[in-house]
Chains A and B, each alone.
Chain A
Amino acid sequence: MQRRDFVKLVFGAFTLAFILPKNALAAIWNKAAFETTQLNEAEKNLEVNGEKLSQDILITVPDKAENGAIVQVEVKSNILNTETISIFVEKNPTPLIAHFKFSNGAEPFVVTRIKMAETSDVKVVVKAGNEYFMNAKNVVVLENGCG
């Protein structure tokens, strides 16, 4: 093997092993949507449009949270062909909390614990086919959990 070919091969292997996975991860994480301080910007970056209010999105949150550092949120979508569930807290410094994508038999259901800076609506957006649906529930927060 020529020396230059060997060098190319080694560089190629390094590129594949280290650079690609990082880029792949960066490509998956929607930086613009997660880092914006505006709810509508976050939604725009997730390509949400024409969202309709739907009572088929069930949001279970406490009415009042003593400590905003841990607020348990349960979301269940009864909308047929739900593909993604996004959770926003309108008044958090960065409103987009999480974006879940379901496939291969995963039910459109999640429970997680989130941080809330102040009393705010917890807004959930569901994508089903090319349509978007939303629902929201207010949580009264007594102590800022965003530190």
Chain B
Amino acid sequence: MASDNMKMRAQLKGDVTEVKVLMSHPMETGRKKDDFDRLIPAHFVQLVTATLNGKTVLEAQWGTGISKNPYLTFRLSGAKTGDTIEVTWHDNLGETATQNITVT
């Protein structure tokens, strides 16, 4: 899927790598109504996984309570400059996006 779907940054600070991720997603709860008073169907990210050089480091399950255009920061110890971090999300409608970044 489109690579502009996710913005990522991974910076090594001391011996900890801080990874920041901004996803583009409506995160509809299924409780909101449109201008014509019709319910907007739920559409939200359910699963986010992150890997470091192919090894899983973070698995997140999300509900509808995460804000629109989800933001996430996590920290890894043991990552080095040049390592690859990949983040993938899956939503309740079967859509998915993947993005990777090199640690700097």
A28 touches B76 (CB 8 A): no
B49 to chain A, nearest CB (A): 9
B13 to chain A, nearest CB (A): 12
B70 to chain A, nearest CB (A): 7
A115 touches B67 (CB 8 A): yes
Give which listed residue, A106, A113, A145, contacts B57 with CB less than 8 A: A106
Considering only residues 56-108 of chain A, those with a C-beta below 8 Å from chain B are: 69-72, 74, 89, 92-94, 96-107
Residues of A within 8 A of B55 (CB): 104
Considering only residues 55-72 of chain B, those with a C-beta below 8 Å from chain A are: 55-68, 70-72
Answer yes or no: B98 CB below 8 A from chain A CBs: no
B65 touches A89 (CB 8 A): yes
Known: A70-B67, A97-B65, A98-B66. A22 touches B72 (CB 8 A): no
Query: How many residues does chain A have at the interface if contact means C-beta atoms less than 8 Å apart?
Result: 38
B60 touches A106 (CB 8 A): no
Known: A94-B63, A105-B76. A25 touches B46 (CB 8 A): yes
How long is the Cα–Cα vector from A113 to B16 in the complex, in angstroms? 22
Residues of B within 8 A of A92 (CB): 65
Considering only residues 37-62 of chain B, those with a C-beta below 8 Å from chain A are: 46-47, 50, 52, 55-62
Considering only residues 67-87 of chain B, those with a C-beta below 8 Å from chain A are: 67-68, 70-79
Considering only residues 96-136 of chain A, those with a C-beta below 8 Å from chain B are: 96-107, 109-115
How long is the Cα–Cα vector from A13 to B3 in the complex, in angstroms? 28
Interface centre among A94, A107, A114 (most CB of B within 10 A): A107
Give which listed residue, A22, A34, A72, A111, contacts B61 with CB less than 8 A: A34
B90 touches A25 (CB 8 A): yes
User: Which A residues form the contact surface with B (CB < 8 A)?
Assistant: 22, 25, 28-30, 34-35, 69-72, 74, 89, 92-94, 96-107, 109-115, 145-147
